């Protein structure tokens, strides 16, 4: 069984910073892409940032220059440093990982339970 456990959400004032972390654990043979998605009330889940196993990263236009994604392949973790936060960044943030649990099982998308980020104006 694979689990993704997130930490680091909370309440911050506009202009402040937060760092989200996510650790994958369990039966893991290999991890492909990892990333962060978010869902605000009444809106669809949207991609925030993704990072490949080799380190190539992509960001949503709305967070470019403010957020930085990183990963530690040895520890199976992914982090999101969020700076210059805005009220519109308020959402539940979900960790994502594309994982192959064993060599005989194909790639599967896994999700964390979500962590609330609230930015006050």
Distance CA 96, CA 101 (A): 15
Tokens of 81: 């440093």
Average pLDDT, 10 consecutive residues per value, the chain (121 residues): 95 98 96 98 97 97 98 97 98 97 93 97 93
- pLDDT confidence of residue 36: 98
Place of tokens 């290999």: 30
DSSP 8-state symbol, 70? E
- pLDDT confidence of residue 58: 98
Degrees, nearest 5: CA angle 48-49-51: 160
- pLDDT confidence of residue 62: 97
- pLDDT confidence of residue 106: 92
- pLDDT confidence of residue 73: 96
């Amino acid at each position: 069984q694979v689990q993704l456990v997130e930490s680091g959400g909370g309440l911050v004032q506009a202009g402040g910073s937060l760092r989200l972390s996510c650790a994958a654990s369990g039966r893991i043979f290999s991890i492909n892409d990892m990333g962060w998605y978010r869902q605000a009330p009444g809106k669809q889940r949207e991609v925030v940032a993704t990072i490949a196993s080799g380190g190539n990263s992509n960001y949503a236009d709305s967070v470019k220059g403010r957020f930085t994604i990183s990963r530690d392949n040895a520890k199976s973790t992914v982090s999101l440093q969020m700076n210059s936060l805005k009220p519109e960044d308020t959402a539940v943030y979900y960790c994502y990982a594309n994982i192959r649990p064993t060599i005989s099982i194909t790639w599967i998308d896994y999700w964390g339970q979500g962590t609330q980020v609230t930015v006050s104006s």
